[in-house]
A and B are shown apart, each in its own frame.
Chain A
């Protein structure tokens, strides 16, 4: 079974040379730590920066240079700043190659719910709805089950949706899954996790049409 860093490490392997990548808050943010150093990638943050670098050293924080999580950041050579309309033109206009975000629920047809729990958490969707409505390549990073042990990979989402039919791939602590027209297709299992374990933790339709290899990290 993977921890959060393990999930991030596996997703980092999906990041290819020349990609512009938008990382959501939580596990997706960790992906930046594991991207191969021999490829060129630029990270976009939807509040208005492309070419995001690591956190600043103490004393170098700048209130005018933050990421979408409102954290102080730095920029790398070649970086740029822009307004919010331009930022979402990059996203809606499909100029961003890969979007990695967290989710509370994903359904077997690729619907995603990650912004609202009625009467409990009503903070807003931020840029998530714009991101999922347009990105060609969306990877969800999440735990396979919630804190109560219930599956987060469902036949139908129970929470208010963020987007419909948009998730292409899911990487969890247990598995790598592709969302296909006929359901969740199991591609890889995490170290020490059996196909049975994944079946038990998946409520939606799981397709197992071959021997499932263990992930390489």
Chain B
């Protein structure tokens, strides 16, 4: 019939001549074909497994999502659940979406800003709760579904959404680690948090001038009030490499007779004079940030604690990020 867009007999499109149709098929590149030959991800076994699990999965989802208009729960909505409020904005509830999105962004910023502190933990907890609330809110909009089923679906989706969080936390821990100071050690105070890169020295060795986190060899010394043991992780600057001769005299630090380019973080705590010959494969890190419970470190203790071997250096410190008002880039 005139005006029809398809053939009444076979259904073929009658608009072909007038419409713009691409007639060049998609092509696979040589690399793609090679890849498919070597790694046949989609082969008959893949489809056999898919067919095996398809029906049970469909049955389960049909049971839980009975009554849900699946057009509303499209893949576009599910993907957008990854950011709280995004799915609501996508579904046209912009105001509601913003109510979730903006607090979530603020909490995310605060938790990153104070990373490693208790405050960051609180922020992160609130952040996850807010995310859960946004998902529950989304499902609460699906009318006609029993409350129990709605809850189960919420938990299932929440479990899916929590995957990126777990991934981010586990992966970021490999890149950036956190240390919190438990005692005052000028210029750091109890409660300060520093971030450091544990993998900074995987490919190259530590450099003179780097502020690093290191663990000293346990050192015992007898004081007036008893026996002191210096053992722990400290943060300070490398002042000299192995084989150097380091001298601190008249408030001047020299390395191999030349004035040192880099001073330790709290040079005022050094004894009046000291001298260190750094063995090979070791670094000189002067112990000016080690807390001293009794008397100040004497010359002998300072010299002994200044030598740190390569394996004792745990990573390169980036920043003191907590508390925010004491923010300090250390490298």
* Same assembly: no
Chain A positions near chain B (C-beta within 8 angstroms): none
